[in-house]
Structure formats: structure tokens, C-alpha cells
Chain A
Amino acid sequence: MTERPGDQATDIDEWPLWEVFVRAKRGLNHVHVGSLHAPDAQMAIRNARDLYTRRQEGVSIWVLPADQISASSPDEKDAFFDPAADKIYRHPTFYHVPDGVEHL
């Protein structure tokens, strides 16, 4: 009991990064809310509870190891996304929707 708090501080690199997804209420999707460090998945969920849901923001939490996420490259942004900009025929706006069809 002679040590001061912080003596045990470990290198932050030792704890992997986790991405956190929170579902605000039943029926909604889990939405990415941020990231955190934790030693393992169980602790990541608990840390996420304290960091991201302590003001009642959610009813369900997912965590993913950040290094397990494959992402599109910013360098390929033009090739990936720009060609979609002038293809308005890909939007279903040229069809006549019969009366009485709901939820479209």
C-alpha cells in the first residue's frame, strides 16, 4: 500500500484498439460510435458501457478488434465512388408505382 496510483501504468500499446457499435433502441441498427483500448473483448464491452452508454444511449453493444476491419482505401476514392455520380438510371425513379403500394 505504499505505491501511488499510476505506478502500475502500462504501455498503452499493450492494449489493442476496439471499434464500438451501439444500438440506440430495439429495431434500429448498431451504429459506430467510436473506439477504445481494452485488453480483451469482455473488458472492451465493459469499457464501452462506461464510455458510450452511461447516459442511456443504448440497449446493445458490439465491439470489434480494429485490426479486423478491412476498409476501402482513401487513395482509391475516385475509382470507387465517383462513377456512381452520373448514373441516375440506377435509381428506381423511372417506374410507375401503382396506387396502394406502401413502404416504398
Chain B
Amino acid sequence: MTADIGNARADDRVVSPADVVAYALRLGDDALVYAQRMGGWIAAAPQLEEDVALGNIGLDLLGQARSFLTYAGELEGAGRDEDDLAYLRDERDFVNAQIFELPNGDFAFTVARMLVTSAYQVELYTRLATSGDATIAAIAAKAVKEVDYHRDHATQWMLRLGDGTDESHRRMVRALEDVWPYVGELFESDDLTARLTEAGVAADPGSLEDATLEYVAGVLAEATLEVPNTHVHHRGGRRGVHTEHMGYLLAELQYLHRSHPGASW
């Protein structure tokens, strides 16, 4: 797989496979952890129809996670497959942004988060579809259609709940205040993304911010809501620093595999 990178890169500088592994892990962990959260809504959503919708969104995300983690494992060359990476790493090894691991909260919080994360992923995958790394480009090209639908789903609900009843409006205002301190981390660049952006492999996170927030702000305005004004800014997920909710999430996600190694059905 390293040949792909070498052949397709934009300039003559060598792209470190270790960098691409680290980047694929970020993309995969975002999707994996978020898929786990969406799965938590099954049989708990306001309606059966919404159970299925959120479950489908979770399965889309799980598919993205499998692709990215499988690629990371292959490129790493240490014999780890998608299951090893998903089930046998510990909390500090996960490099997802914290917004994805936050508990589902009420339905308003789930919708508020999905509006932001799906708007971000649409911009991200659209850009990655032309990545110099052929595998990342192929995964992104398939995923962009999926997250486009997630964004539409979140948009539809945001419009109805924001511009709905007094109670739904009140809850959505609170949900946006809860989610907003975790939004900024999505757009933080670091040395890794700088190197890979330079090499034409990654999308610079900072460059995705304007388009993402423009979409979100447009929906919020139509939903009679305002973009929260917050000075709190949580970060650390990309370095393996997580919220107190992450350990519980991983316990549920990893329990079966660790109790019954290699179990399948």
C-alpha cells in the first residue's frame, strides 16, 4: 500500500506511512466511537421509525470505521486487523475527537451534535475524495454520500425542533450550549495534519471550519436558533485525552471481544 502513496503524492517528498496510519486512525476512531453512540438509540428513540434511522446512520459510520481501521492496520504492517484496533486498544490509544464520545443525552442533543458532526464530515470527505492517497480517497468518496444523508436528517429535525414548541426550542437551545464547547476541536490542526496536508494526503482541519459553520449557522437561523457564544473549548482527543464518558463507552464496546477472544457468529 505504500506504493500507492508514493506514486500518487503531489510532490517528491516522502510521505511517512506512520503518519498515514495515525491519520487513518483518527478518521476511523471518530466513526467507530460515533457509531457506538448511535447504536445506543436503538429501541430508545422517540419512535420506532427514528430507531431505524439512527441505527442506519450508526451502521454507515461503522462501515467507514471498518474501512479506515483496516487500512491503518495494513499500512502499519504489525499484523493488526480492524478488530484488534477496535477492541484491543485502551482509552489513551484512541484518537477520536471528544465530540463523538459524548453521551447521547436527550434527542435534542443527539440532533444538535449530528448537525455539526455531519456538516463537518461532508466537508471533510468531499475534500478527502481527492486525496493523493488512493485508499483514503476511495473510502471518502463512498462515505460522502452517507454523511450527506446524515446531515439532511439532522437538518430536518433541527428545523422542526428549533422552530417547534416552546419545550422543543428550549431543549435545543440547551443542547447547542452543551455541544458547542466540543466543536472547535474538529478544526484544530497539528503537526501531523500539517505534514499530510502539505503532501496532499489529508484535509487541513482548519480549512474546513468556515464551510462547516456556515452550513450549521444557516440551519440554525432557519430554525429560529442562534449559534451559541461559548468561551469554553475542550480539546485533547487527538492526543488520546478523553472525557470521563469514554471509559464506559469502551467497556461496552470491547467487553465481548475481550471476554471471548476471537468470538464470531
B49 at the interface (CB under 8 A from A): yes
Shortest beta-carbon distance from A42 to chain B in Å: 6
Chain B interface residues (CB < 8 Å from chain A): 40-41, 44-50, 52-53, 56, 102-109, 152-153, 156, 160, 171, 178
Closest to B45 in A: A5
Separation of A45 and B47 alpha carbons in the complex (Å) = 15
Counting contact residues on chain A (CB < 8 A from B), the size range is 20 to 34
Please judge, given known A-B contacts A8-B46, A12-B47, A51-B52, whether A42 and B156 are in contact too, CB under 8 Å: yes
28 contacts between A and B (CB under 8 A): A1-B102, A1-B105, A3-B105, A5-B40, A5-B44, A5-B45, A5-B106, A6-B45, A6-B46, A7-B106, A8-B107, A8-B171, A9-B46, A10-B46, A10-B47, A15-B47, A36-B49, A37-B48, A37-B49, A40-B160, A42-B156, A43-B156, A43-B160, A46-B53, A46-B152, A50-B56, A51-B49, A51-B52
Cβ B105 vs Cβ A47 within 8 A: no
- Bound complex: CA of A46 vs CA of B52, how far in Å? 11
**A47 CB, nearest partner CB in chain B, Å:** 4
Given A1-B178, A6-B44, CB of A47 within 8 Å of CB of B49? yes
By the criterion CB–CB under 8 Å, are A54 and B56 in contact?
Answer: yes
Kindly provide the distance from the CB of B120 to the nearest chain A CB, expressed in whole angstroms. Answer: 20
Is there contact, CB below 8 Å, between A50 and B53?
Answer: yes
Residues of A26-61 at the interface with B, using a CB-CB cut-off of 8 Å, are: 36-40, 42-43, 46-47, 50-51, 54
Instruction: A47 to B41: give the CA distance in the assembly, Å.
Output: 16
Residues of A within 8 Å of B152, CB to CB, are 46
Contact of B105 with A46 in the complex, beta carbons under 8 Å? no
CA distance A12 to B51 in the complex (A): 14
Q: Could you tell me the distance between the alpha carbons of A46 and B48 in the complex, rounded to whole angstroms? A: 13
Q: A1-B102, A1-B105 are in contact. Are A38 and B56 (CB under 8 A)?
A: no
A46-B53, A46-B152, A54-B56 as given contacts; A5 in contact with B47, CB under 8 Å: no
Minimum distance in angstroms from A20 CB to a CB of chain B: 11
Contact A37 B56 (CB under 8 A): no
Known: A4-B44, A8-B107, A37-B48. 19 other contacts (CB 8 A): A1-B102, A1-B103, A1-B109, A3-B106, A5-B41, A5-B44, A5-B106, A7-B106, A9-B46, A12-B47, A38-B49, A46-B53, A46-B152, A47-B53, A50-B49, A50-B53, A51-B49, A51-B52, A54-B56
Q: Roughly how many angstroms separate A5 CA and B104 CA in the complex, as a whole number?
A: 7
